[in-house]
Structure 1
Amino acid sequence: MLSVIHPNSHRGLPAVAHHHLHDNALAQNFPGLEGYKFMSSSYKPGAEDERLPKHMSKSLKSLESVCRLLRSPNDKSKMRSEQNQPDNIPEVVTGGGAFSLEFLLSDQQNGPDTREIFTRLQLRWRNGITSTQYFRAHIPSMKPTLLFEPFENIRINTGICLFSKPALSLDPGKDSLGSDCEKVIIPRIPERNEDLTLYELEIITRLSLAIADTAALIGDACRDHCTPININLDIPDFQYFWTACELLERKVVDVTYVYRWVEAISERRSRLFNIMSSMIHTSLRERQVSNVRICLASGTEAAVELTMKRLHAGPMPILDEFLEELQQGHADAEQWKNFLTHLDPRHQPSTISELGRLMYVFKAVKPALAHGHQQLLNSGPQSHGKNLIIMVDNSTEWRIFDRARTFLKRYTKNSNNGAGETIMLGLFPLEKIFVAGARRSDLYLDDPGSNMWSGTEPSRVGPLDVSDTVYGSIISERLQTLCHREGFKAATRESPREYKLSVMFIHKMLMDLVSQITMRIRAWLKVQV
């Protein structure tokens, strides 16, 4: 099941259409959702698209390679941890369906095929849980010797943004950091308990389930029984703060606005972390995955502290001051110094906007960075353990993954910099809620708001109703409970059954009223006669 939202299609409000996936020899298209199509296990490729089967085969092989890397036990690890085997190992089924996403620019008609393929992965547990994802998988070539011993450090990195651009009255076509934009837009300050947007609900649900499935895939080949899985959630702070600070520099807002903005963003960030980490923990327990740590990714604290300090004393910091502050006097200082030293000169930031984007890359590669002078002194071929970094994120964040992978390739070539051997994998789960249009669907850019019309019932629906239809009532109710715990209303609209009952009740009342009026009119007419 997937949902497509059609903007402004019913009485000025978005309408939601739900689609089941069909087992058909032909590719399944979705009205209004251009560039996307689904191929089932029965799909028969036509002559009009000879390259699609090759892309599907390549995508399937990448996903199978990821599963083999994470699950296949080597002899040593099997002997060492045989007695610690989990009781509920999932059955893994790859293939049997795929989505194709393709948007060609006008000047690329005869260029390389840049489509993305998301291949089906299904996990089945003996306790009855079944989870199905469609992943775009990326795995590097690696030395066979890397698989002889488990990894000593295992990290799953993910991230979400706050609210959505329409919810904050931001321009969907511009960066959230304003220094690269000529047009000045003043974001509205959200209310404290403003409900989660459809973007937030969808991405928290989808990534939480995808992360839990990824953690469940990690077997003895990768993980000693005592090695924890560390899950890092990157929820931006500095990037949002600087939006308001730059407006202050341009003298279009006052310092009170900035403080209110920072407070609203900080509180939202903390509450979303609580919701998402709880969603992940619950999903992990269902999959019987233990020894997992979930934390809020660090790396921007120095920049945030400097920003807040200057809000009191002024003037606002410049780029060089931020770079200097990041490399001294904080827990991540040595790693920032190591990162910037080994960063390709072409990728060094020239604006604060670029620094904000670079922070995402830093957090992605941080587990592989040497973090102290002693570690550098002790560096050598056998002095550092192997690192496994798995990025589970929106496919729209592909650029962060690509830049992180490029950096690690350059960084790990030199054993004298304290780097351990590192493998970085990418798993990008496909969305299940889309916005119709001629461009790539992106709920963060095109969030429809809190009021929509259902395509199957003549009633209004809200974001949680759409999530309920796509992900099921159990997941939706779990998310609603967590939202309530954090002070959000997170209410569903009237359910279809309740809606039908209320319509019948109103109809009955009207019929009774008509009957009473008719009887009184007849009685009055008799009196007149």
Structure 2
Amino acid sequence: MSIPTDIANLLIGEDAKLSIHFDKIPLHNDAHHSGSKFYMLSTNRALRDHEEKEDDLKYLSKGRQGAIRLNQLLNAPHLIKERESTAQNEGKAVMRLGETAMVIDETFDAQPIHSHIWNSFMSIEFRFPQADFTSLQYLQTSWKGLESGDTLYTKEGTPTFEEVSIVSGVCLFNARLLEMSTTCPKSGGVDVDLLKSSTPTYNELDYIARASSAIADVAAMNILRACEQDSGQRLTIKLDIPSWHYFHTVATKFVSKQCSNTEVLQWMDAVDQRHDQIGQTFVEAIRYGLEQRGIHDSTSYGIGMTSRTNTAAILIRTAIEHEEVPSLDAILAALDSEEDGCWKRFYEMIPVKERPSNLDQLGYLYYVYEAIRPSLAERPAPVPLESDQTKKANLSKKALKKRKPRRLIISVDDSAERRIYSRAQRVLSKIRQCSEKPETYLVESYVCRRFLVNGNEDRARLGRLDPLPDIPVRTGFHHEPMLPLDVVRQLYGNKSALNLQRWLQEAGLSV
């Protein structure tokens, strides 16, 4: 399996000139690499070279241990040793640890640090022999609560978890477009046309291309394990696509009488439309990835995106239609009264000092809520039957002994969203302490970036500095514009770019 060697580097000059340069990822095989903030390491050699650097060794070992535990979770009960194959395991999908790690400095200040190795992404190879397909990912994995021996299925073939969900998401537009659309220089109000006419951004397309393959790898392993055990367990994939989370910006404009309620509603319509278009494209990318890996039975999994017409969105829209802005208390009260009771159970576990004080903070907290929502849903207790098939679908002995159902959530996301999942872990810890609630565990998997800004010198995020509506040129070719799909083509291949183009057009987005 070939190792990805290209990274895109958005260069923003002092004169605001924009260009994109494609670099080869540097490979460091020695301990002297303090200047570079993005590089590749040979893992085994790095562990030897850093024996005298206690912190470096600790971080590398921790990163590798996270990958090993993910390997155990997805491979078992067919644990495959490195470079070992048996007749029994021939043809079975398998995850193997690679021999390299990607290191990227993602500290959130520009001060020099002695080591970047704390943020290492381990190479992991996913093999799907029956589909003749192999995939290579660079993932960083962490979890809390699960034991090192926990697997999807026991040696007897019974599910360890009653439900398994994969969660992810993607931000819409970019920070610049959203800001420009609410600060129209001509009117001082909102510029709805800017959002409506915006082509897919660099950040949107890079993330979908990068994350969809990783989601497909993890999902396919889950689905194939369920098929091997004939458990009938159906995987759920949920994509959290924002919509009303952005409404606070334009609502502020309305309160200050800088725009009409008609303009606000049109701006919201543009965001909702983007939610549907990007969400549909993301779904298609994952479906295609699953088919590549031999998953053709769509009944073995469910995939969808979060609703843009939930209680909060409807309340905000209805108020704006009547030329009002709902109070935060009114929105919280409406969420609290939802029939399924999930938000109510979630909000009760949020400390008072961490509760939102404005609509922006509520939108952020809602991301945390959606990440762990599978843990909050109440299910009717299954009625035990005597058939062997039902016995096989029962929970593991460990779960039965505890008399509590167990659920598993696997997040596959960008490391920029780490704070959301860290906060989600704290809530899940409280849920596990409640005797009447299922024990839910979150495995965090972060996909390594391949699109940097200014060589990652200031650890800047593409979502914040995505240049659209301006189009950079390719470095050294002043008359060759580099559109978002051009970057996808360079980093992920021509087929990936063509597929994305087709799905975007089917969703109604011009590219």
Q: Counterpart of 1:486?
A: 507
Change (3 A) 1:16 1:442: same
- Could you tell me whether the CA contact under 8 Å between 1:13 and 1:451 is conserved in 2? no
Task: Name 1:395's counterpart in structure 2.
Answer: 415
How far 1:298 sits from its partner (Å)?
Answer: 4.4
Residues 364/130 of structure 1: CA separation in 2 closer, same or farther (3 Å cut): same
**Shift of residue 206, structure 1, vs aligned partner:** 1.1
Contact 2:95–2:124 under 8 Å retained in 1: no
**What is residue 349 of structure 2 aligned with on the other side?**
342
Matched, 1:440 2:459: yes
3-state SS of 1:169 partner:
helix
Query: Structure 2 vs 1, CA of residues 193 and 351 (structure 1 numbering), >3 Å: closer, same or farther?
Result: closer
Alignment of 1:249-264 (within 5 A): 249-264=255-270
1:279 Cα offset (Å): 0.5
Q: Is 1:296–2:302 an aligned residue pair?
A: no
- 1:309 and 2:318 equivalent? yes
Instruction: Say whether the 8 Å CA contact 2:174–2:466 is kept in structure 1.
Output: yes
Structure 1: unaligned runs, 5 residues or longer: 76-84, 179-184, 491-529
- In the alignment, which of 320, 327, 330 is matched to residue 318 of structure 1? 327
AA aligned to 1:438 is: E
- Aligned-residue offset at 1:160: 0.9
The DSSP-based 3-state class of the residue aligned with 1:487 is coil
Equivalence for 1:520: none
Report the Cα offset of residue 192 of structure 1: 2.9
Q: CA deviation at 1:403?
A: 0.6
Q: Residue deviations 1:63-93, cap 9 Å, x none?
A: 1101211221189xxxxxxxxx995514523
Partner of residue 121 from structure 2, selected from 118, 129, 139: 118
- Cα 1:346–1:479 shift into 2, 3 Å: same
Percent of residue pairs bearing the same amino acid type: 24
Q: Secondary structure at the match of 2:93?
A: coil
- Residue of structure 2 equivalent to 1:356: 363
Question: CA contact under 8 A between 2:272 and 2:308: conserved in structure 1?
Answer: no
Structure 1, residues 453-472: CA drift from partner, whole Å, max 9, x if none? 22365622211111100001
Residue 236 of structure 1 deviates from its aligned partner by 1.0
Shift of 1:27: 6.9
Aligned equivalent of 1:18: 22
Q: Alpha-carbon deviation of 1:60? A: 0.7
Aligned equivalents of 2:239, 2:175: Cα separation in 1: 20
- The range that moved more, 63-72 or 90-99, is 90-99
Indicate which of 392, 395, 408 corresponds to 2:428. 408
Q: Partners of 1:7 and 1:30 in 2: how far apart?
A: 21
SS in 1 for 2:139: strand
Is 1:460 aligned with 2:460? no
Describe the superposition over 1:471-501 as per-residue Cα deviations: whole angstroms up to 9, x where unpaired.
01111111111112123332xxxxxxxxxxx
TM-score, with structure 2 as normaliser: 0.80
TM-score, L = length of structure 1: 0.78
Q: Shift in Å at residue 387 of structure 1?
A: 0.7
Q: For 2:265 and 2:116, how far apart are their aligned partners in 1?
A: 47
Aligned partners of 2:226 and 2:233 also within 8 Å:
no
Contact 1:63–1:136 (8 Å) recurs in 2: yes
Instruction: Measure the CA separation in 1 of the matches of 2:69 and 2:112.
Output: 31
Q: C-alpha offsets along residues 224-264 of structure 1, whole Å, 9 cap, x if unaligned? A: 64111111111111111232122111212211210110110
Distance 1:3 1:301 in 2: 38
Distance 2:189 2:38 in 1: 34
The whole-number CA distance in structure 1 between the counterparts of 2:401 and 2:260 is 55
Residue 108 of structure 1 deviates from its aligned partner by 8.6
Report what 2:292 is aligned to: 286
* Alpha-carbon distance, 1:104 to partner: 7.2
- Alpha-carbon contact 1:228-1:292 (below 8 Å) kept: yes
Query: Does the 8 Å contact 1:169/1:188 carry over to 2?
Result: no
Contact 1:72 1:221 in 2 (8 A): no
Residue type of the partner of 1:452? Answer: P
Local SS of the residue matching 1:389:
strand
- Are 2:50 and 2:56, in contact at CA under 8 Å, matched by a contact in 1? no
Counting only pairs closer than 5 Å after superposition, residues 26-425 of structure 1 correspond to structure 2 as 26=30, 35-41=37-43, 43=46, 45=49, 51-73=55-77, 89-103=93-107, 105=109, 115-126=118-129, 127-143=131-147, 147=151, 148=154, 149-150=158-159, 151-169=161-179, 188-189=191-192, 190-218=194-222, 220=225, 225-289=231-295, 290=297, 291-298=300-307, 301-328=310-337, 330-332=338-340, 334-371=341-378, 385-416=405-436, 419-425=437-443
Secondary structure of the 1:16 match is strand
**How many Å separate the matches in 2 of 1:323 and 1:10?**
45
- Structure 2 CA distance, aligned partners of 1:483 and 1:232? 20
Contact 2:8 2:20 in 1 (8 A): yes
1:426 aligns with 2:435: no
Distance (Å, rounded) in 2 between the aligned partners of 1:271 and 1:221: 31
Aligned length: 459
Provide, for residues 149-184 of structure 1, a one-character-per-residue CA deviation record: whole Å limited to 9, x for no partner: 41221111111111001223359xxxx9x9xxxxxx
CA distance, structure 2, for counterparts of residue 425 and residue 120 of structure 1: 17
Task: Please give the secondary structure, in 2, of the residue aligned with 1:304.
Answer: helix
- C-alpha separation between the residues in 2 aligned to 1:476 and 1:106? 34
After superposition, the Cα gap between the structure-2 partners of 1:188 and 1:434, relative to the gap in structure 1 and judged at 3 Å, is farther
Residue 354 to residue 145, structure 1, CA distance change in 2 (3 Å): same
Aligned AA (2:425): R
Separation (CA, whole Å) in 1 of partners of 2:106 and 2:239? 29
Change (3 A) 1:27 1:266: farther
Give 1:309 deviation, angstroms. Answer: 1.4
CA displacement, residues 404-448 of structure 1 (integer Å, 9 cap, x when unaligned): 1100101220113xx112111000001111111532231110102
SS at 2:179 equivalent: coil
Contact 1:102 1:114 in 2 (8 A): no
Paired letter, 1:135: L
Q: Would the aligned equivalents of 1:40 and 1:98 in 2 still touch at CA under 8 Å?
A: no
Q: Look up the SS of the partner of 1:166 in the other structure.
A: helix
* Structure of larger gyration radius: 1
Give the conservation status (yes or no) of the 8 Å contact 2:20–2:475. Answer: yes
